[in-house]
Structure 1
Amino acid sequence: MTQKPLGFAALAAAAGLFLAVNIAAAWGLHGWRVDFTADRLHTLSQGTRNTLAALKEPVTLKLFFSAKLSDQIPQFKAYGARVREMVLTYAARSGGKVKFEIIDPTPFSEAEDSAVQAGIQGVPIDDSSGRQFYFGLQGSGAGDKREVISFFTQERERFLEYDLTRLIHNLNQTKKPLIAVIGDAPLEFGPGGIMAAMRGAARPYMVLQLLRQTFDVKALGGDAAEIDDEAAVLIVARPTSLTPKALYAVDQFVLNKGRALVFVDPAVESAAQGAPGGGQAVPRAEMPDLLAAWGVEMEPARFVADRRLGLPVETDDGGGARARIVPHPAWLGLGDAAINRDDVVTAELAVVNVGSIGSLKAREGTGLTFAPLLVSSEQAALMEVEKLGARPDPEGILRALKPTGQRYVLAARITGRVKTAFPNGAPPDPAPETKEGEKKDDGAVPSPEKKPEDAKPLRPHRAESAAPANLIVVADSDLLEDRFWSRVRDFVGQQVAVPFASNGDFVVNAVDNLAGSDDLIRLRSRGISYRPFTVVDDLRRDAADRFLARRDELQKALEDIEKRLNELQDRKKQSAAAAATLSAEEESAIEKFRDEMVRIRRQLREVQHGLERDIENLAAWLKVINIGLVPIGVLAVAALIALARKHRRRIRVMRD
């Protein structure tokens, strides 16, 4: 066979092989994917795979996405493609348990009605046509159970896998998780505590009402010896007077279940202000032994004062002068710079308001992970709680505040294996109190109802956690109170909270996260799919700055010319005689000024067009480099290999 037919045959064989590989991939390798993205955006984590494997009943996921309207919003078009690919991956990995539908709710269609009925939020795309852009997901499971993501916001794209896996996890649950609450915070009764309840004036905190919308909540007494095994999460809310038995119960729950949200406090201001007679002593809720066992310490009897984050309050010196608004350095509004945006619990919080919050730090040598969730600014310092009292003086605290330049940790997530704070086992029962006038019983046989063997036996003592614990510790309990984050209104006999801070969201997010499975909690934030040309954006900003500077110069020159032109025209109008005498000069000057105005405006347009042209050229070159570099590199490598093979063949022919 001659060389030319041989070349044609090789080309035909290559084309046939190419078609065969593509057909085989389409039919035999359906669902196979290789993820080359920087953050493994399209690869499911092991936690998600475990959640899918644990599905008891099939679930259906309906993605409502306005595909046609997305052409007008490039970033959502890219994000929509990522969500679709991600859910397809879920379906492929579920063994047939996840069904997937894509619905395009075009304007004024039945599909749009279905989106609205499912609870998907529509966003107006423009003001004139009334068209709505939909981008949400509804999940349905056994027993008509429904879960909805009303809109996939770009701010939560990093948590896409977490949100989808959480939705599927919730659909797989047969009942609400049980949350146990222990501590002295009057969540059940409100600010007046049990005395208010006895008067019929109980008003549960709004944070408790929010929790009850999603969870079953069980309140425990401060002397509880055990915590329900069915509880998914324990909330320790202000442990000011827990008995040793109750503290031991908390310790053992953490070692057995490993999920707790803890609100300690170096200064419980609300309790001090609500004390009869306005006592000056500020109660504390410090629980140091348990915190130490969990690898964390709170500065005792000291709170964080912050000059920058102080909430504005009205102060009155009592002398009849007008009240002043001053920042309260002990009451902090923790905004964007103080919030960890990489943790799913705090990622979307706007502001968390706290009162006389403490400082947390990790203990060395514990092997536990300590991740800050809320921090102070650099304009902060630790101050003694004695400066608070029943009526804190914000201005006095502000004067005494000397910032250290350190950012203090105010709330943190602790993960890892923890040890007991009771190495000797359960604490002994307290000795029974002897009433005045009673004789001590010497050797008397105990009555049947008090025999130790009749008492309910406690579960076996555990010295170390059964599995890695996941705890969230907050150095403040005042943030639970309504006054710090919401205004409560009575509407048709119902209490309605109008929040002005994110305290409620913080608590609900934390409990929701801790109540999830181990696989769900271990999911971390990922990257984003929409990657703009950041170099182009930076250059655009720099060029825009230069353009604005040049434009300002030209604009000023234009204004000067217009001012002088107006002066000449005004002089012309004021005196007919002057007009007759100076008309030739004025007309010449006016014509000159007009020519100058036209020239300056032309320069402005040229500067603007040059800016746009440079940016477009740069973007085009970057696209060519990004899109063409890999193919060119592959072709170059292939050419080098071909040349090397040809060279080897020539050498073999010459030897033969």
Structure 2
Amino acid sequence: MSAKKTSLIALLFGVVLFVAVNLLSREVLRAARWDLTEQKLYTLSEGSANICRQLKEPVRLRFFYSENLASQVPPQFKNYADRVRELLEEYVALADGKLVLEVFDPEPFTEEEDQAVGFGLAGQPINARNDQFFLGLVGTNTVDDEEVIPFLSPGQEASLEYDISRLVHTLSHPGDKQVVGLISALPLEGGQGNPFQPASPGWGVVDLIKQQYELRNLGLDFDSVDPEVDVLLLIHPKNLSPQAQYAVDQFVMGGGHVLAFIDPHSEQDRPMANPQNPLQGMNQSRASDLGPLLAAWGLEMATDKLVGDLEGALEVTAPTERGPQRMRYLLWFSPREDAINADDFATAGLQELRFATAGALEKRADFAEAIGDGAKVESLIASSREAQRIEEFMVRFNPDPEGLLQKFASENRSFDLAVRVSGTLPSAFSDGPPPKPETPEEDPEADEAVDPEPETAHLAASEKPTNIIVVSDTDMLTDNFSLRIQNFMGQRLMSFSGQNASFLLNALENLLGSNDLISLRARGNFRRPFEVVEDLQKEAQERYYLKEQEIELRIQEAEQRLQALQFQEVGEGYAILSPEQEGEIETLNQELLGMRKERRDIRHELDKDVQRLMTKLKALNMGAVPLGVLLIGAALWLLKSVQRSRR
């Protein structure tokens, strides 16, 4: 057989083998996945994988994506839809048949579009016919519970895995509303906390919590936490009894989660005034610090110090010797965006938080010895570095914003305002439960003796990992700092003011999830910029920037000179121009035309340079692989030629 025929047969055999391998791999390796992205963007976190493996009942996912309309929307939506579908397939692959994925293309005037609208998905109008583009997810379980993500926006890609995992986790645990146990010394639900002051209508954030969860007020003097309570919410737990502190401690030791808002100076805590001695009430402490519990969680907070933040200070109207003046109040401030943890889902996406007379949370100096290596503390929100700890007594009687500004001296460090403590912790009551309070002697003539409740075993350390979020401010939850409330025909209408209420709800939602859900963090960005292209564009822009700025300055000077000449007034307002001035105006007009043309030419040259760079990169990308194959082929041919010549 000739060498030519042999080569042709080998080529045909290679083609057939290539097609066969592709067809076989499509079927055999359908479930195989290799994630080569730097941040493992297409690999589920361990927490999400555990949620999939531990599904209690089947969950059905319906992914609605208007694929046939994708050509009419920006390309990032199509790319993002592909990524969402691939991530959903990863969930299905790990769920061992308990997760079913269905993909729908809701074209206009179809049954699929009616289904999307019926599920509450948010279609986006994209053309003159008002066709709706859908990109959303619906989940259902066997008892017809529904969870919906109305629109999957590329701008929220960092939280995509968390949103899907939360949806799946919620549907796999059907049942009644989750229970939030409330502990507070403030009249959060309304009422008259102080008999000398009018009754309050209750805090708006409490109404928001009741819309989503069952809220149970435990008071301040309880000795156990009902097993039905899913999370404890502490808001200014001042004067918590030892028995109540022990109950909270044992709740945490059993793996319970806690969201605690404490405060060195609660502006809403108004101690009862003594008519005989008005100063007595003003001297009373307005602090709440949780006593031994905070130390057992590895934290400290000085109740005689408040955080003042110059960089984020809010403006207030304050009385001065010159009358009311607008000025910054150091103790009311908004943290910088980069001081808010973007990787933790309790704070991810938050930008507009406001604090008032907050404290500084610090990790215990002996954390490693006292707490051990089973727990960790992570900062969620912090002040700027232009901050100072201010004595609490300076605002107890009559806050002076102007005086605080004059005395401000930055400590050149930031202070934590909210932290997350996670892991296993020691009990705050190492010696066991506190002694029970003395009770009145029982009536010997009582008909029946009440059987004492059986005591539960003391837990000296965490049975399960816990999650605790501690915030050093309670005033941030008041209506003034978190909501806008209007009374309309007897109804309280609420809308968010800033993101303080969002932070509260995010933290509760996060802590009410499983430990697997809480462990999730924001993922990296799916969008990988063309860094080389962007650097080249920046270099080209810098090259033309100075020249363009010089022309802009000359144009401004010429326009000012021209305006001065054209609007000269003499006598009764009539402009009198000499032939020389008229000639100068004509010259300036011509110069302006020339400079504006020069400016346009510079911008055109910049665009051309960028396009030339893009063309070179495209040519390099398209030609590099064929050129590499050609070079390898040429090298192999040359090597064979040399070997033949040696024979």
TM-score by length of 1: 0.85
Q: Select which of 470, 473, 480 maps to 1:473.
A: 470
- Match of 2:230, SS state, is strand
Structure 1 match to 2:483: 486
Question: Within 5 A, what are the aligned runs for 1:605-620?
Answer: 605-620=600-615
Which letter maps to 2:315? P
Q: Select which of 201, 204, 208 maps to 2:202.
A: 204
String of CA shifts for 1:398-433, please: whole Å, max 9, x gaps.
Answer: 223211110111101111211101111111112347
Q: Select which of 500, 504, 523 maps to 2:501.
A: 504
String of CA shifts for 1:506-552, please: whole Å, max 9, x gaps.
Answer: 11111111111122112222122222223433443454455454334
How many residue pairs get matched? 629
Distance in 2, matches of 1:72 and 1:163, equals 24
Distance in 1, matches of 2:329 and 2:415, equals 17
CA deviation after TM superposition for structure 1 residue 316, in Å: 2.2
Q: Is the 8 A contact 2:185 2:236 kept in 1?
A: yes
Distance in 1, matches of 2:560 and 2:103, equals 62
Which letter maps to 1:311? L
Distance in 2, matches of 1:405 and 1:124, equals 50
CA deviation after TM superposition for structure 1 residue 248, in Å: 0.6
Structure 2, unmatched stretches of 5+, are: 569-573
Q: Is the 8 A contact 1:158 1:526 kept in 2?
A: yes
Cα 1:469–1:632 shift into 2, 3 Å: farther
String of CA shifts for 1:171-228, please: whole Å, max 9, x gaps.
Answer: 12222222212232332226x438699x8x5533222221222222221121111112
Cα 1:161–1:626 shift into 2, 3 Å: farther
Structure 1 match to 2:315: 312
String of CA shifts for 1:470-517, please: whole Å, max 9, x gaps.
Answer: 111111122222222112222343322122121111111111111111
Question: Within 5 A, what are the aligned runs for 1:68-467?
Answer: 68-69=69-70, 72-106=73-107, 111-123=112-124, 125=126, 130=130, 133-175=133-175, 176-189=177-190, 192-193=192-193, 201=199, 203-272=201-270, 279-317=282-320, 322-363=323-364, 364-365=367-368, 366-367=372-373, 368-432=375-439, 454-467=451-464
CA deviation after TM superposition for structure 1 residue 329, in Å: 1.1
Question: Within 5 A, what are the aligned runs for 1:47-58?
Answer: 47-58=47-58
- Match of 2:51, SS state, is helix
Distance in 2, matches of 1:134 and 1:205, equals 38
Distance in 1, matches of 2:262 and 2:544, equals 55
Q: Is the 8 A contact 1:309 1:334 kept in 2?
A: yes
String of CA shifts for 1:634-653, please: whole Å, max 9, x gaps.
Answer: 7767876x5798599769x9
Distance in 1, matches of 2:165 and 2:597, equals 58
Which letter maps to 2:304? A
Which letter maps to 1:47? G
Q: Is the 8 A contact 2:257 2:468 kept in 1?
A: yes
Question: Within 5 A, what are the aligned runs for 1:615-630?
Answer: 615-625=610-620
Q: Is the 8 A contact 1:121 1:151 kept in 2?
A: yes
Which letter maps to 1:49? A
String of CA shifts for 1:269-328, please: whole Å, max 9, x gaps.
Answer: 2103776756233321112421221122223421111112222222224x7x64222222
Distance in 1, matches of 2:424 and 2:638, equals 58
String of CA shifts for 1:349-380, please: whole Å, max 9, x gaps.
Answer: 23222221111122331322211111001111
Cα 1:422–1:577 shift into 2, 3 Å: closer
Q: Select which of 586, 592, 599 maps to 1:604.
A: 599
TM-score by length of 2: 0.86
- Match of 1:387, SS state, is helix
Structure 1 match to 2:41: 41
Cα 1:505–1:341 shift into 2, 3 Å: same
Distance in 2, matches of 1:150 and 1:520, equals 21
- Match of 1:231, SS state, is coil
Which letter maps to 1:26? R
Distance in 2, matches of 1:590 and 1:306, equals 55
Q: Is the 8 A contact 1:551 1:604 kept in 2?
A: yes
Which letter maps to 1:40? K
Instruction: After superposing the two structures, state which structure 1 stretch, 38-47 or 541-550, moved more.
Output: 541-550
Distance in 2, matches of 1:575 and 1:517, equals 81
Structure 2 match to 1:436: none
| Structure with the higher fraction of residues in helix conformation | 1
Which letter maps to 1:282? S
Distance in 2, matches of 1:621 and 1:449, equals 98
Cα 1:259–1:569 shift into 2, 3 Å: closer
Cα 1:188–1:634 shift into 2, 3 Å: farther
Give the percent of matched residue pairs that are identical in Structure 1 and Structure 2.
36
Structure 1, unmatched stretches of 5+, are: 434-440
- Match of 2:354, SS state, is strand
Q: Is the 8 A contact 2:194 2:271 kept in 1?
A: no
Cα 1:621–1:195 shift into 2, 3 Å: farther
Distance in 2, matches of 1:594 and 1:221, equals 80
Q: Is the 8 A contact 2:387 2:414 kept in 1?
A: yes
CA deviation after TM superposition for structure 1 residue 555, in Å: 4.5
**What is the RMSD computed on CA atoms of the aligned residues?**
3.7
Distance in 2, matches of 1:566 and 1:358, equals 58
Distance in 1, matches of 2:211 and 2:202, equals 14
Q: Is the 8 A contact 1:232 1:259 kept in 2?
A: yes
Which letter maps to 1:362? K
Cα 1:391–1:149 shift into 2, 3 Å: farther
